[in-house]
Every structure is written in C-alpha cells, then in structure tokens.
C-alpha cells in the first residue's frame, strides 16, 4: 500500500488522540493529523492492515505490550542536539560549582552525592552534554558519587542513546574546545568518552506513570520540550511531581517555549526558563 491510500477519518483521529493521551499524556492537535498518517501508516503497512480503525481494534483486542510501545514511539518527537539552549548548561555549571564548595561528605562510601535527571532525554545529547560539561569544568567530580538519570518514553531512542555513538556532523557549530571532548569512532562517527558514558544511566520511563521508580532527591532536573505535548491539567500534575523530587533550592530547566504557568507556586523564576524550587514550600510539605 502507498501511504496516500490511508485515509484518517475524524473518528479515527479521535481514537488515536484518546489512546495516546491515555498512554502517554500527549495531547495531539489538529495540526498533527499529517504526522499521525505518516508515522502510523508505516505500522499499518507492516501489519498489513487496511485502516486506522483496524489498527486501533488490533491494539485493543490482540496487541502485545511491544505493539503498544510501538504506537507511542511512533507519535513522539525527538529533535535535540548537543548544548541546545546553552544558557542552561552555563547556569548548571555555576550551580554545581557552588554545591561542590559547600556540600559535605555523605553516604556510606564517604563521597559527596550529586544527582541530575534528564527527563525526556531523546537520543542522549542532553544528558551527555551535562556529563561532558561538568566533568570538564570540575575534574574533582570523578571522586564524587555523581550520577545522571536519563529517561524517555520512546524505547528506541533510549537504546540508541545508550550506545553513545553519533555522526560527526553532530559536532557542527560546537566550539573547538567542546568538539575536543568527543572521541573519533571512525566511519564519520564520534563516541562519548567512557568517563562520561559511565555516569549516565538510560532507562525507559513514562512520565505519566505513578509513582516514579526513582528514589532520593535530585539536585537538578532537565525537562525540556516535553510539557509542550501535554494539556494544562497534565502539565500541572507533572510540575507538582517534579517539584517534589527536587532538593530544596534545586533547579528545574524547561524548554524555550515552556513555562510553569499556574503550576509554578512551588518555584521561582531565576533565569530564562530556569526555575528554582522554593525551600520554604518544601519544608512545609515535609512538616
């Protein structure tokens, strides 16, 4: 079948929207109809199904967990690059520098702990940028209990990110100093060095699942260009949960077109799409 042979009726589009909202909290607008036809059409051809109704019936009646994941993977967008929205990483370095000066030794191994979460990590450029930048700026971090959790709902991009291999063209536009942080991998590719790969843990995670499996608080959370796919209700719920998982005075980094809106009571805006958790609010919650 040619892609053009698949027609998406209003009723079918409503069924697609309802399913992806229930599964992933994603709110599809009318402008996404072409995307739905293009991406789901590939699955219809692979399954030899003749309509979107037939595909949705298949998911509901016979689909496996893998089929359900393929549906979600097809409808997520994974546009990213290294050092995207550079001001966030500049702010993060300043914040971590302050933490390193004042944070006492902690934990059974006597090493200070540092935890950062990249929520919606896509193909890994964001968490690897954090790791590369911080390890270059603060060599002593190798003596810390330093970990970055990187999660995404799309299992395909998580698997790709974990490999740490990228086309050399990904370095276009980076300074010579930043480009030098990567290792040549041959065949026009570059590799994330082992020291940076080892501090990043990639996991599939649906942000709509409750509770989240992570334990302990994060010093910083990057959740950039994720909330734009949710409606206001879902955004408000997400913002509240992100606030609860940050340390007092920890930072939340959003995408350039996002803001906390009505969900920002537990935060204060300190920079361009940079929010700080209000310590006094978290103290009241803990009381």
Q: What does the pLDDT look like over 230-283, one tens digit per residue?
A: 888 888 888 888 888 999 999 999 887 776 765 567 788 888 889 998 764 444
User: Average pLDDT of the chain?
Assistant: 87
The residue from 39, 81, 178, 268 that is catalytic is 39
User: Which residue ranges form the domains of the chain, and what is each CATH number?
Assistant: 3-74 (1.10.155.10), 86-286 (3.40.50.150)
- Of the ranges 69-83, 151-165, 249-263, which is most confident? 151-165
Residue 58 is predicted with a pLDDT of 92
Does the structure show a pLDDT above 60 at 132? yes
Inter-helix orientation angle 86-102/125-137, to 10°: 50
Residue 237 near residue 211, CB atoms below 8 Å:
no
| pLDDT grade for 105, boundaries at 50, 70 and 90 | low
Residue 7 is predicted with a pLDDT of 86
Q: Is 39 one of the catalytic residues? A: yes
Per the structure block, which two tokens stand in for 131?
Answer: 């790791």
- Residues with Cβ within 8 Å of residue 241, at least 6 apart in sequence: 210, 212
Does the structure show a pLDDT above 90 at 131? yes
d(C-alpha 120, C-alpha 124), whole Å: 9
| pLDDT grade for 33, boundaries at 50, 70 and 90 | confident
The residue from 19, 70, 115, 152 that is catalytic is 152
d(C-alpha 8, C-alpha 41), whole Å: 10
| pLDDT grade for 65, boundaries at 50, 70 and 90 | confident
Does the structure show a pLDDT above 50 at 2? no
Which is more confident, 151 or 269? 151
Residue 134 near residue 96, CB atoms below 8 Å:
yes
| pLDDT grade for 6, boundaries at 50, 70 and 90 | confident
Residue 240 is predicted with a pLDDT of 85
Give me the percent of the chain exceeding a pLDDT of 70: 91
Residue 3 is predicted with a pLDDT of 43
Q: What does the pLDDT look like over 77-94, one tens digit per residue?
A: 766 889 999 999 999 999
Instruction: Decide the pairing of beta strands 200-204 and 218-222.
Output: unpaired
| pLDDT grade for 151, boundaries at 50, 70 and 90 | very high
């Amino acid at each position: 079948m040619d892609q053009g042979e698949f027609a998406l009726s209003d009723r079918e589009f409503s069924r697609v929207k309802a399913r992806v909202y229930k599964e992933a909290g994603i709110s599809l607008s009318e402008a996404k109809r072409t995307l739905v036809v293009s991406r789901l059409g590939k699955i219809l051809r692979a399954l030899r199904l003749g309509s979107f109704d037939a595909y949705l019936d298949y998911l509901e009646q016979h689909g496996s967990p893998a089929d359900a994941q393929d549906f979600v993977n097809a409808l997520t967008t994974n546009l990213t690059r290294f050092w995207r929205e550079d001001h966030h990483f500049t702010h993060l370095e300043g914040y971590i520098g302050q933490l390193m000066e004042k944070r006492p030794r902690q934990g059974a191994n006597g090493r200070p702990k540092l935890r950062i979460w990249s929520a919606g990590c896509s193909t890994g450029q964001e968490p690897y940028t954090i790791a590369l930048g911080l390890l270059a700026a603060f060599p002593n971090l190798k003596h810390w209990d330093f970990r970055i959790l990187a999660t995404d709902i799309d299992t395909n991009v998580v698997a790709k990110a974990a490999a740490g291999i990228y086309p050399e063209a990904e370095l276009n536009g980076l300074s010579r100093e930043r480009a030098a942080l990567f290792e040549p991998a041959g065949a026009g590719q570059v590799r994330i060095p082992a020291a940076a790969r080892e501090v990043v843990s990639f996991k599939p995670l649906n942000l709509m699942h409750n509770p989240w499996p992570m334990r302990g608080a994060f010093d910083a959370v990057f959740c950039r260009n994720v909330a734009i796919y949710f409606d206001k209700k879902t955004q408000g719920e997400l913002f509240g949960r992100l606030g609860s998982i940050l340390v007092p005075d920890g930072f939340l980094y959003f995408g350039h077109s996002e803001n906390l809106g009505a969900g920002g009571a537990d935060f204060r805006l300190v920079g361009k799409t940079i929010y700080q958790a209000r310590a006094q609010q978290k103290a009241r919650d803990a009381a």
